[in-house]
Structure 1
Amino acid sequence: MTKIRAPFEPAPWPRRLRSQEWYGGTSRDNIYHRGWLKNQGYPHDLFDGRPVIGILNTWSDLAPCNGHLRELAEKVKAGVWEAGGFPLEVPVFSASENTYRPTAMMYRNLAAMAVEETIRAQPIDGVVLMVGCDKTTPSLLMGAASVDLPAITVTGGPMLNGWFRNERVGSGTALWQMSEAIKAGTMTQAEFLEAEQAMSRSSGTCNTMGTASTMASMAEALGMALSGNAAIPAVDSRRRVMAQLTGRRIVQMVKDDLKPSDILTREAFENAIRTNGAIGGSTNAVVHLLALAGRVGIDLTLDDWDRLGRDVPTIVNLMPSGKYLMEEFFYAGGLPVVLKRLGEAGMLHKDALTVSGESVWDEVKDVRNWNEDVILPTEKALTAAGGIAVLKGNLAPSGAVLKPSAASPALMVHRGRAVVFEDIDDYKRKINDPDLDIDETCIMVLKNCGPRGYPGMAEVGNMGLPPKVLKKGITDMVRISDARMSGTAYGTVVLHTTPEAAAGGPLAIVRDGDFIELDVPNRRLHLDVAEQEIAARLAAWQNRSARPAGGYAMLYHDHVTGADTGADFDFLRGCRGNAVPKDSH
């Protein structure tokens, strides 16, 4: 056996690392902390002051998008070892989009809270955030930002293209399309089941520009992931290389004390907002980036989203807005090409720092676009003014959002009669009724599906159309709610209406037969009812959403903020630092 040095000699790092509060000495407490971990067979010299890197892994058998992260973590570990660090894998809360009820969004804040305390309470000097499925990316970024230790993200990557009868099948997007085709009578149930086999043919997240790929792109645009990370397919060997390089990089970040607060600046968020417009990204990015900004003290608002995204052309030709899938996006050059285009157009803060230690412009200035049908020239953009449209008016005093690249141009200015659903159960009861008084000129209104109302703000805003309308060949109608919409979905859908109905917002008092005016170019959402009548209805309004009796649901109900501020918990906003808790042993 190798002789243990005595006294304990720390490694020659530029400063005493945080983990040494646990491991760096010969006291009873130091021996207690080291001794137990040594039962895993770690040699004594691993505790000599080299950085302890927490690999926060959202792998779970019940999170299929992240099902391959256990293998990927081994590549991260290899990179950490190579760079002289001590990697320790830590399982963390993983909210899967396709299994969690009532909705994964309800548990984003719980995951962020758990991740924050996992980092703060343990002997960790820096963290690698291993993420994939929709809510895992924002929750881990939020938690890490609140602790502010060196942190870097590596995503699991998208699935390979799905194919069905020689056509691309976009995960999620095809699901919405085919379920509508069933109701329209243009597709059989047997064909739908056959197509199911083609939707998820490899490990990874959604292969459309849904929320998972959007948030992977947001992490890269913010500077919190290595350049090129967002688009590499999950099963491509280059994804494993990216993981290993990420492991190497976090060790140097600890040495340099490069923290989220150094990277997540206002300029970084502005870069991300413009990037979201250019890629046709999910509306879910709005609530996640607003919440993340709140963790680092950046005063980001819905008005910033509208102002910064208004003139950004959508140049990434991916479903649900366009034609292709993430696999083609990667082959075309991925997000670095988009960032270069933004820089060339004067829409990028080029000096924004990234986890590489270089500026974003230094990372992307020399990349090339290998397929201009996937990453389009500006003059061929899907939407000349992409971004996220933020609507305001007497129906949404604090704002609502709409994704222009996924909407029907003919419906962007529309006045229609409201057909109201009081909640999602009311919608399900009525929507297939042939006697429902609705046609394609109407506006569908869904209430009580916001953060408090659902609870959790579910992705039900893209309400399926009634069969009687679908059978006419109509595929889109104006829909308004306080809910969210899946990033893989599409349509002229107004979302995140605030204040939400369950908080007494004007949405709560809309009635069947009221007329609503939508004017996206002028950013207006108006309930065409006299002000006195609106005031009288609000005065008579009674809250139908009951406060949960206890547990996390009650905590969520009592402390969740509105969608316009990110639907975070009021007590989690801000950075609480990484002070070492007192040792009670």
Structure 2
Amino acid sequence: MSDGNAGKRLRSSGSYGKLDRDGFIHRSWMKSQGLPDDVFDGRPVIGICNTWSEITPCNAGLREIAEHVKRGVWEAGGLPLEFPAISLGETQMRPTAMLFRNLLAMDVEESIRGNPIDGVVLLGGCDKTTPGQMMGAASVDLPTIVVSSGPMLNGKFRGKDIGSGTDVWKFSEAVRAGEMSLPDFMSAESGMSRSPGTCMTMGTASTMASIVEAMGMSLPYNATIPAVDARRKAMSHETGRAVVRMVLEGRTMSQVVTRASFENALRVHAAIGGSTNAVVHLLALAGRLGVELKLEDFDVLSRNVPLLVDLQPSGRFLMEDLHYAGGLPAVMKAMETFLDPTALTVTGATIGAQYENAEVWNAEVIRPLDAPVKADSGIWVLRGNLAPGGAVMKPSAASPHLLSHRGKAVVFESIEDFRARIDTPDLDVDETSILVLKGCGPKGYPGMPEVGNMPLPTKLLEKGVKDMVRISDARMSGTAFGAVILHVSPEANAGGPLAIVQNGDEIVFDGPSRALNLQISDAEMEARLAVWNANRPPPVATRGYAKLYIDHVLQADQGCDLDFLVGSSGSVVTRESH
């Protein structure tokens, strides 16, 4: 129970502490749920923002997790109040969950801002739920802690571990190459997703959960405890206690998520072989908090950080193995020379204190600095006349021989064009070609889908080709792999140079120099762009949220937030509803 003076400082006391008509309304309607009088005596009110949904399998375990958070809140003298936010199922939602990340952020921001709560616990996990919730919470800036849904158990197929997404792509390509039968492919389906939870590879969900922990926005081991492990429930219980302390100590999200915590997160991202999707999410989050973060920071800050975590898609193991090997604290301990140990966490302790006693229990899963999985890690940020606003690549997931490459473009104007022609026998393509996909950026799809890891042409797969350079304005799943260049900015539908690439154009990709160039003259580039602008395609949506998104979405190098959402609204609301 908080003391009387603390109660007067609480944001919720502006609603529940009034001895007038407005206070009567606020308290009386809440009492309809069976709450006793004394819960409105000045104790911290904790909102539990839950993206639980049966149609978001990654988050299907969060109903139970919420109950454990509530236990901790009650125990610490707070009042827990759960509320929903829209849930974005990465594997289910069309045309892409990314289209609605900003809508979730709006939902979370207005729900937190408009309701009489003093702190918030964000329950998410699936790829877009974690960044969307964090973006919305950042714009209000209350004491905030994240509890992730946790990774599912390792997949199993014929005596071997298989990984979400990563092995789907591998098996699918093997079927197309004639190396795996369709019945064998289908038999793997039931063994891949054996429990609630997120992808157990280092996909976007596990990447964002790791970043949350590296930023100090969760309790230790939030990223790696399996979703069905009892220790996740215990951690959730302790999170309920911790958020009450955070409110009473006045520690807000902006005090925890600083430039130092972003720098730590980017370096951890490199060491774990994190998803390229973290780029757009962290840029958007920084924009909400007013923290200076540039696209180049992802490359510069991680340039000397090797890949230490041997996890799919860049390595061999899965998230369950990472937890048993010591979890993220052990990873951070192994790379502590790259980190700022003084960055604050939600508990008030420093991040250094969170990992100082951690140990590595399996040096095959978490490698030492002098024996990394790969020297090349992190994110490469490419620029050139084909990507003046930048493009990104994950070198740890690519074939080494393709990290510098020159080839002729095989161009697909849309995802439909790609699917119609990629397997045609007369497609003019060989293993030296570069596949180019347009119309899949933020405005063009809309929503920037995970289609950048284009399947290779069947006729090349049958010859044993396993990787090719691919370029697009799309994203790719964090579980995917290959020599894939993504997030080309400006996108084709915004009139970027990608829009005017033609079949047979030569493209030069120089990874070590971070260069991506179309081999045509400036005059030819200008002439083609003039023709394109004179025949600019109409928007792909004309009503509803999709139109709002297309009209206001920023490009990938700025995080794909909506332009009017950058920054904060704050937590003060002065007008009553009655």
Mapped partners of 1:545, 1:159: distance in 2? 42
Instruction: Provide closer, same or farther for how the CA distance between residues 581 and 117 of structure 1 changes in structure 2, counting only shifts above 3 A.
Output: farther
Who is 1:57 aligned against? 50
SS at match of 1:379: coil
Mapped partners of 2:339, 2:376: distance in 1? 16
Mapped partners of 2:541, 2:222: distance in 1? 40
**Conservation of the 8 A alpha-carbon contact between 2:8 and 2:42:** no
2:99 pairs, out of 106, 113, 118, with 106
SS at match of 2:146: strand
Who is 1:550 aligned against? 543
How many residues align structurally? 575
1:131 pairs, out of 114, 124, 131, with 124
Who is 1:491 aligned against? 482
Please report how far the alpha carbon of residue 103 of structure 1 lies from its aligned counterpart in structure 2 after TM superposition: 0.2
Matching of residue 286 in structure 1 with residue 279 in structure 2 = yes
Deviates more, 1:372-381 or 1:479-488: 372-381
Mapped partners of 1:279, 1:97: distance in 2? 21
Who is 1:393 aligned against? 384
Please report how far the alpha carbon of residue 416 of structure 1 lies from its aligned counterpart in structure 2 after TM superposition: 0.4
SS at match of 1:400: strand
1:334 pairs, out of 327, 343, 346, with 327
Q: CA RMSD in A?
A: 1.1
**Conservation of the 8 A alpha-carbon contact between 2:256 and 2:344:** yes
Who is 1:152 aligned against? 145
SS at match of 2:383: strand
Who is 1:517 aligned against? 508
Please report how far the alpha carbon of residue 12 of structure 1 lies from its aligned counterpart in structure 2 after TM superposition: 4.5
Please report how far the alpha carbon of residue 385 of structure 1 lies from its aligned counterpart in structure 2 after TM superposition: 2.8
CA deviations on 1:131-189 (whole Å, 9 max, x unpaired) are 11000000000000000010000001000111111221101111111111110011111
TM-score (norm 1): 0.97
Who is 1:25 aligned against? 18
CA deviations on 1:531-582 (whole Å, 9 max, x unpaired) are 1111110111132242522110110000000000100000001122101241
Who is 1:447 aligned against? 438
Mapped partners of 1:178, 1:583: distance in 2? 57
Who is 2:87 aligned against? 94
* Amino acid aligned to 1:199: M
Mapped partners of 1:420, 1:36: distance in 2? 60
Deviates more, 1:271-280 or 1:540-549: 540-549
Who is 2:227 aligned against? 234
Please report how far the alpha carbon of residue 222 of structure 1 lies from its aligned counterpart in structure 2 after TM superposition: 1.1
**Conservation of the 8 A alpha-carbon contact between 1:162 and 1:170:** yes
Percent sequence identity over aligned pairs? 59
SS at match of 1:491: coil
**Conservation of the 8 A alpha-carbon contact between 1:383 and 1:404:** no
1:473 pairs, out of 444, 450, 464, with 464
Who is 1:572 aligned against? 565
TM-score (norm 2): 0.98
SS at match of 2:392: strand
* Amino acid aligned to 1:306: D
SS at match of 1:378: coil
SS at match of 1:243: helix
CA deviations on 1:445-494 (whole Å, 9 max, x unpaired) are 00010000010000000000010010011110000000000000000000
Please report how far the alpha carbon of residue 45 of structure 1 lies from its aligned counterpart in structure 2 after TM superposition: 0.3
Who is 1:253 aligned against? 246
2:360 pairs, out of 364, 369, 375, with 369
CA deviations on 1:75-115 (whole Å, 9 max, x unpaired) are 00000011000001111111110111110000000000010
Matching of residue 419 in structure 1 with residue 419 in structure 2 = no
* Amino acid aligned to 2:46: I
**Conservation of the 8 A alpha-carbon contact between 1:222 and 1:354:** yes
Mapped partners of 2:383, 2:370: distance in 1? 30
Who is 1:383 aligned against? 374
SS at match of 2:507: strand
Who is 1:4 aligned against? none
Deviates more, 1:302-311 or 1:456-465: 302-311
Mapped partners of 1:455, 1:480: distance in 2? 18
Mapped partners of 2:266, 2:57: distance in 1? 28
**Conservation of the 8 A alpha-carbon contact between 2:47 and 2:119:** yes
Structure 2 residues without counterparts, runs of 5 or longer: none
Who is 2:41 aligned against? 48
Matching of residue 410 in structure 1 with residue 380 in structure 2 = no
SS at match of 2:9: coil
Please report how far the alpha carbon of residue 328 of structure 1 lies from its aligned counterpart in structure 2 after TM superposition: 0.3
